Amino acid sequence: MTSKIAVDLIVFDLDGTLADTLPDLTAAANFACRRLGLPEHSPEAVRGMIGGGERKLIERTVGPAHQDRVEECLQLYLDHYTRHNGELTRLYPGVAETLALVSGKKLAALSNKLQRLTQQTLEAMDIARFFAAIRGGGTGLPLKPEPDALLSLAADLGVGPSRSLMVGDKIADIRAGQEAGAFTAAVTYGYGDLDALTAASPNFLLGQFSQLPGILAA
């Protein structure tokens, strides 16, 4: 583990890092499944399907035997999620207060969730105002774990990767940060597997979001 780091930019994943979006994701996925007569899933099952964007989630939701229903299911999912985004989602403890504490740095959000849904979720949680940039999927750049979106974000904000920190709950976040040459912090309360996160060797493991200021040099 690294001691305190000096950075100018902190980039945050959204789902499982800033907010517990699982209840809204589960509601939308099960709505789509119900409409198509497909089996519904428990929140715990959906939790294991998150990662890689909406299409990957729906491919996992419908299962190997129903891949021909992915397009139909994805549209139903997106329609429902767009209408109800934020209704069941909650910030993790200390997120708003901690973002305010570190707001002397440049802050950004980088999600594999579609750009418009990322923006919508952050606005619904009343934290969009903290971010100098908000990036999601569907913008033409590869999703995490590829580093392209993170590198683009840092360049747009005028910060070198070595002065940046990527914070997330999944291996994809850590890999993206590492590939970009940024520092990495894995939060252990989200949707990632603790053993896998530890094995990915992030610079920091955070059990609570409020621990973030403690790893930053003044």
Residue among 8, 13, 24, 169 flagged as catalytic = 13
Which of 136, 133, 147, 9 lies closest to 78 in space, CA to CA? 136
Dihedral of the alpha carbons of 68, 71, 74, 78, in degrees to the nearest 10: -160
Distance CA 50, CA 25 (A): 9
Identify any residues that bridge with 135 across adjacent strands, giving them in sequence order: 110
**Is 148 assigned a catalytic role?**
no
Buried-exposed string 86-124: b where 16+ CB fall within 10 A, e elsewhere? beebebbeebbebbeebeebbbbbbbbbbeebbbbbbeb
Question: Cis ω on the peptide bond leading into residue 93 (within 30° of 0)?
Answer: no
Which of 120, 159, 144 lies closest to 192 in space, CA to CA? 144
Tokens of 154: 């840092």
CA 143 vs CA 41, 88, 137: distances in Å:
25, 25, 6
Query: Mind telling me the catalytic residues?
Result: 13
